[in-house]
Amino acid sequence: MATATDQLVGFGLVAFSLVLFVYYTLWIIVLPFIDSDHGIHQYFLPREYAVIIPVAAGLLLLLFIGVFIMFVMWKSRKHAKKSD
């Protein structure tokens, strides 16, 4: 069973993901149909960032995955040399 802390962290991650999904969906799908002089536009970044931010996040994710794999391979190689 999950502890209360695990459940709280899980709930926080789900809530953050839901807020991010709703914000991005409104930004990409709904905002183009609203007049550009409407006040709601002040709460959203310019549309260029709608592509730049996910691409940058994806590249960072790939970087972290690559570093993690490199670290695990390096550790297992170091461990294999000790056992020989």
pLDDT in tens, 8-55: 999 999 999 999 999 999 999 999 999 989 999 999 999 899 999 999
Q: Does pLDDT of 84 surpass 70?
A: no
Query: What distance in Å separates the CA atoms of residue 26 and residue 44, rounded to the nearest whole number?
Result: 9
The model's pTM:
0.69
Q: Where are the domains of the chain?
A: 1-44, 47-84
At 77 the pLDDT is 84
Q: Does pLDDT of 79 surpass 80?
A: no
Element (H, E) at 81: helix 49-83
- Summary mean pLDDT of the chain: 91
